[in-house]
Chain A
């Protein structure tokens, strides 16, 4: 019953909006706005056919590789930087500067440096996704509770064990907050990196349909991006629920 109710909230408004859209486009809408039927047909032919392997899969693969690299780099560097005060103080202004540079502006530079290939696109994604994860991890690691830390020292928790049993779990709420931010950033960068000098990818396909005035097909790409975003978010929440179940419980018990 509870899951049914939350499912209702999840799909309720989209259903209403689709119905409204359907009603508005009956009796010949705008040329630029397809009706739901046209869109579904376009979506099927484009994305459930060759488009899936040719454009969607490479995009998703680059996004996932980019996110994975960002998480590994961000958490790894974040722990190293966050653990040593002077390193953190030394690097923080620089990191804030680098974070503030929009990574899309690096695309022309990376085109020159790396060339037109997957590595360049993944690099763009990493350059955008790294910062929220890195900065959040640093903050999480640096703000580990003193008593938790003292307890660890008393019981001989050092080195790798300390990372595994204390530092990573203690910083995990902040790490997850960082990953959450970088998911949205990553999706944007995935598309944008495919709009310049690309030969495949969802972003490339959308631009291509627009040039050819294939309006329903163009819209179907945008819908795919939306669905991809939702899927990522749902997946993220499932993982977060597993890993951070204790944190939710702790917060609730603190509110009692």
Chain B
């Protein structure tokens, strides 16, 4: 829970210059924590609320279920696959709904972008389905453009989902072809308005445009996190994701780290990966089959499928923790399954894909079973606990030790803990990171700098 204290920083002072120096992870600067801090009410209540992840689960889960109830009226089921993956993702994080972890919010928004995009042109024109037909009347290019704007928001929530922004090329090119300059400028403007505060905060928090990416080195300020630390942090993310657990092994070749990464996965995660590979085969097969029959798959959906594949590749190379890319991993099996259900007329290839899909479902089952069991066990154990009927369970608090960092006392968790607290401010998860710093001025907003920089 290294994020918690960032919510407290948002509430107390907004930001501290160079705060990424006292805890490097502050540099990631997820916008999700801004959302969480607005509805935390730490300034009002003794125990701050942490309900935003649950709220997003409720909203997107509701949307997904409502869409799936209209399943029969859909001309194609790419959108339904997205809705199903939203529901599976919610099942996956259900027992951690109270956590303001940044990847939950980011991936829920990413899943919504994918599912809503995939649902374009899905409704039949049946007059009986007023609401669906109403949605169908929306201009698909404008809808894609708005979802592209939302994907820039996802980028500010979690940079590992950044490639979703590539989807913006589809509506962008279409609007440019139609020479609708005003609309292009309006959407660009919206994207800039969304990304700008993220970049400005990055500048103040870490001195980098995007931390820990050191490829863009624009600023030379005294609170800047040293490049060596940023590179080390980036290497840590990669190597921990790959199961190597040692930043020094960043240059390990792919053929060597893939077996290590595979061994580090849980059984049900391995089966999910196998299901993903099978779904790729089915999707490719169906794509070629549709092309041969001169009934190609819809371009809008194909473009998003391509973005999902690119996002999966980016996730695999950059930060291959299953939980960081789960939404991208859940979509292909669901899409392959629904694509097969759409098949009219059976031939040898359909039967082959059907068998493969059956095998794929068999592989997804342990993943679903694991989290379903988690969720039901949790519900059985805690549902209607008298202790929490009125108030929410408060944030956990670790024992801390005070560290003198320049003019300020920074709290750090006492060994063996490495969690940050909400209740202590300012504080860090790692004492050695804070001990490399000193204060920059008289107030906390003046922040911290690394002792080796800006002397």
- Indicate, yes or no, whether A interacts with B: no
Binding site for A on B (CB under 8 A): none
